[in-house]
Amino acid sequence: MFTPLPDKPDHPALELEILDVWEREGTFDRLRAQNADGPTWSFVDGPVTANRMSLGVHTAWGRTLKDVFQRYKALRGFHQRYQNGFDCQGLWIEVGVERSLGLNSKREIEQYGLEEFARRCREVVVKSSEALTRGSIRLGQWMDWGRDYFTFSDTNIEYIWKFLKIVHERGWLYMGHRATAWCPRCGTSLSQHELTQGGVYQERTDPSLYVRFPLEDRPGESIVVWTTTPWTLPANVAAAVHPDGEYGLRENGEWVLASLFPDDAFVRRVPGGELVGLRYEGPFDTLPPGASVDHRIVPWDEVTFDEGTGIVHIATGCGPEDFELGKALGLPVLQPVDESGHFFSDYGWLHGLSTADSADQIVGDLGERGLLVDAGTYLHNYAHCWRCDTPIIYRLSDDWFISVEDLRETLLAENAQVHWVPEYMGKRMDDWLRNMGDWNISRRRYYGLPLPFYPCACGHLNVIGSKAELAERALEGMDQLEELRRPWVDRVPIRCEQCGETVTRIPEVGDVWLDAGIVPFATLGWENDTWVDEGYATGAAKGLTRADLPDHAYWETWFPADWVSEMREQIRLWFYSQFFMAVALVGRSPYRRVLAYEKMLDEHGREMHASWGNTIAAEDAFAQMGADVMRWQYCAQPPDRNLLFGYGPAHEIKRRLLTFWNSIKFLVDYANIEGFEPSWSRLEPTGELRPLDRWLVERTKQLVVDAETAYEATLTVDVMRSFEAFVDDVSNWYIRRSRRRFYSFDEAAFSTLWYALVQSLRVIAPVMPFLADHVWRNLVQDGPESVHLAPWPEVEPPDTRLLEEIAEVRRVVELGRQARSSSQLKLRQPLRRLVVAGASRSAEGHAEEIGDELRVKEVEFGDVEASELRVKPNLPVLGPKLGAALREVRERLARGEFEELDGGRFQVDGHVLEPDEVLVERVGREGWAVASDARITVALDTGLDDDLLLEARLLDRVHEVNALRKESGLEITDRIRLWLPDADLIGRYRERIMEETLATELGEGELRIERA
Ligand SMILES: [Zn+2]
Ligand SMILES: [Zn+2]
């Protein structure tokens, strides 16, 4: 006996119930024990930043994909690691805490106290990791919860120290002095890859200023520059022209690039080279820094001719290109603003003003001094700090870099070995590896990896590679070192190994991507001599995890990862940082295969923003759609397109899922009536199989084979496509065509449908772990307790000939339905004749089924004479191919001057048009409804006679009676007594009426039924 099913599944309720069952039965532990001796499949989890207090639906997407493939591989018997990771340091967390404490600057953080600040940041990680764990469990993700890695553990930090020491020994570590992207609010530089994160470039309106610089030796003449950053003008040191550009002198004495002002009249034109070397008055020679500079016009090949004036204001301290030019030409460097973006004291009346606040005053001052030619506004995409949204500035900074040049070739070669899905993601990585600059690893912040650099006045750079080494060389402070982090680590000075002097650590912390990049080493025990049980919980991670610190043999087993998966954005972030670190440390890629996917937007295609009210909390989605429906939505998504996530798409998925549910319910309902009791030990169908049963068996094998191919290719979208097509075939073909066989006990029908559904549950279990297990536990009562403990189904290759035959029949039926609906005839109206042309011979054996499906008396295979053919060009495809010839082809097609070739091709005016280049329409002549695809055409005789009309009335009546049965609450097997008012129907169709309504008696009278 199966447990009866409700009309619709209550997803949240059944999911919570299954979570309990898994917990009670230890299902996940049993699965892992079952696979313990299996081959390994190594997955490494990219850490989620532990700063949110609930799981987001975008994070749930990635977690679903990870879970799906780990579950699939587990069904295939693979022994796996299930370690979840939390990213615990960096600006995300730090800035959040800063805000919650109401702190607004680095000075305020220091006043607050770094020790307390670090503890508050850790608290966020603790709470967030708990919340994210809860959300992930609710999502159905099976991980080794409680044995997670936390990137702020001393172990993780020590591994990064070891990496940095090796990098230093190889000569790749250096301190760079350059103009760098800088967030004035966070008071730190940002690296190139931080600027590539989503949301960094935002539209913004800036001032657009045209400013005159008077030429010293040419009274009355001046050069005009254009800038959108007024605050950089006080740091001007030069003006650059293109030596080959043609510059023009306006009547009023202003020099600009002539081609940029085509409407202006110029009294003189000279090549830029002639202006080079001229001296001009700097825009802020009124202030000491400007006054100290000898301003001259310099040549620069990078001056562009498409914007501005063709004369570029150069502030070497405020822009990376300016800085490089200055270095090449030996220009002076002015640094106008401090870490927080405020003017230094030598900038006179600007002192203390921020880069943003100074704009108006600078514009006003230039105006008063007659230097402003024009002032307006300029809308452009400008980089903002990825964490706090402040527009970035460029300023001089001493940062620590890792040089990439020595590694670039190996990086490129290793990337070429990685299997990227979709393929273009690998190309993106390749582009990035070719063009990226050195890695800026230092940040002037508090809550992050402490860089173990101890530069000494003697010129020696001490780099510490481990906590033990620090202890050995420490002069004091080891006793208070509770975590290998700020501020504790700053209190441990060491002795310089070169000169013996006392040296202290630099205050900088590391780029957060070092933390995540070291994971394939720090969590797998690389070069670690002895295994330490629960040994990973060091420093800040103490008490948070029971993760082991494995030994080197373990690393050998699990490195590199067979598979990793994250969003596309991670190409330049986590995919990159771990790739770089692995290639630096061991010369090879840390992963073999990657699945990357595009962004999540709301269901209307807009970005999700809390302030727009279109974000969805995972908690709400669990309660309103259920985790299985969310997971379906994620899995149905092609990874190369943005996912439009929302309740609308979820509703549509529920509708499709209901088709599957209804098929299961159909089996359960009739099996209970007929006492059908299948057994796992006889999985294959039993009894006298009919052709349709044999077809469903083969169709099921095809599902298994297709889904397996899709899972192996890590393309869930193809899993879902094959599953949905299967669900449609079971419901709209097998059950539709076999319904009556379930009204009494037909063993073959029951056992075949049961087999098909059970196999499909095994296939879809990784995607919908809850619903699949819930149904499994009902349908399979003497097999493995959980669908997740049953292995992946092993099947023979399907009989493709048979599958194609039925697929062909279904195509003909589908076209027949189209023809019917175009004729406006109601579905219950029987028709006389259908003619099918172009179908393969195999469909001919199914004429009866086709006729039955379409309520047509006769089905003929032959030419469709009752139609005319219209062919039109498929413009988007044919336009580019034919060009000017399109017009003639189009006209000839319209006049019917073409020849039909085989395979759906057409010949027109000497051109052969392929099937996808034309739109074919076959129009029925009077009395015929026609539908066609590229190959098959069907024509439906729409003529009606008295017999057909009478039969239509019969079918309407039967339908009416059966609706009445349902309304009266009769069981599907109850017999009735029936009265009908239609003497003609009773006279002609008595037996058929009684059979189709389960009537034992049929009389004439007002329509009514009684239970017999
Ligand atoms: Zn910032
Ligand atoms: Zn020294």
pTM of the model: 0.85
* 988 CA → ligand 2 middle, Å: 112
- Give the number of whichever ligand sits closest to the CA of residue 500: 2
Mean pLDDT of 120-126: 97
What number is the average pLDDT over the span 467-483?
96
Residue type, 832: R
Q: How far is CA 418 from CA 146, 410, 411, 415, 564, in A?
A: 31, 13, 11, 5, 11
Per-residue pLDDT band for 878 (boundaries 50, 70, 90) equals confident
Distance 495 CA to ligand 2 centre (A): 8
Region 537-547: mean pLDDT is 97
Q: What is the mean pLDDT of residues 191-215?
A: 89
Q: Decide if pLDDT at 869 tops 80.
A: no
Which one, of 29, 99, 117, 149, lies nearest residue 390 by Cα? 99
Beta bridge partners of 375: 209
What pLDDT is attached to residue 387? 80
461: CA distance to ligand 2 center in Å?
Answer: 8
The alpha carbons of the chain give a radius of gyration, in whole angstroms, of: 37
> Which residues are within 8 A (CB) of 71 and not within 5 positions of it... i.e. 6 or more apart?
142, 765, 766, 769, 788
> Which pLDDT value is given to residue 100?
93
Q: For the residues 840-866, what does the mean pLDDT come to?
A: 88
> Is residue 458 exposed (0-12), middle (13-18) or buried (19+ Cβ within 10 Å)?
exposed
Quote the pLDDT of residue 867: 57
Q: How much distance in Å is there from the Cα of 178 to the middle of ligand 2?
A: 25
Which ligand gives the minimal distance to the CA of 99?
1
Starting from the CA of residue 496, give the closest ligand. Answer: 2
Gap from CA of 344 to ligand 1 centroid (Å): 20
Across the chain, what does the average pLDDT equal? 94
Query: Which ligand is closest to the CA of 494, given by its number?
Result: 2
The band of 866, judged by pLDDT with boundaries at 50, 70 and 90, is low
pLDDT above 70 (res 11): yes
Q: Which of 541, 539, 581 is nearest to 559 (CA)?
A: 581
Smallest-distance ligand from the CA of 189? 1
Distance 515 CA to ligand 1 centre (A): 19
Q: How far is CA 728 from CA 278, 659, 702, 839, in A?
A: 79, 8, 14, 22
The answer to whether residue 899 scores a pLDDT higher than 90 is no
Q: Ligand nearest 460 Cα, by number?
A: 2
Which residue stretches of 113-226 are H helix?
114-139, 154-169
What is the Cα–Cα distance from 1002 to 984, expressed in whole angstroms?
Answer: 13
Ligand with smallest separation from the Cα of 90: 1
Q: How many CB atoms lie within 10 A of CB 581?
A: 26
Q: Quote the ligand 2 centre to 160 CA distance (angstroms).
A: 24
For the chain, give the percent of residues with pLDDT over 90: 84
Question: How many residues in total does the chain contain?
Answer: 1012
- Does residue 404 register a pLDDT over 90? yes
Tens of pLDDT, residue by residue over 145-180, are 999 999 999 999 999 999 999 999 999 999 998 899
Give the ligand whose atoms come closest to the C-alpha of residue 457.
2
SS3 (DSSP) at 300:
coil
pLDDT score of 922 more than 80: no
- Amino acid 885 reads A
Kindly provide the residue ranges of all beta strands, DSSP E only, lying in 258-404, ordered along the sequence.
Answer: 266-271, 296-299, 311-314, 372-383, 393-402
Predicted confidence (pLDDT) at residue 904 exceeds the cutoff of 80: no
Q: 62 vs 51, 577, 599, 654, CA distance in Å?
A: 17, 19, 11, 21
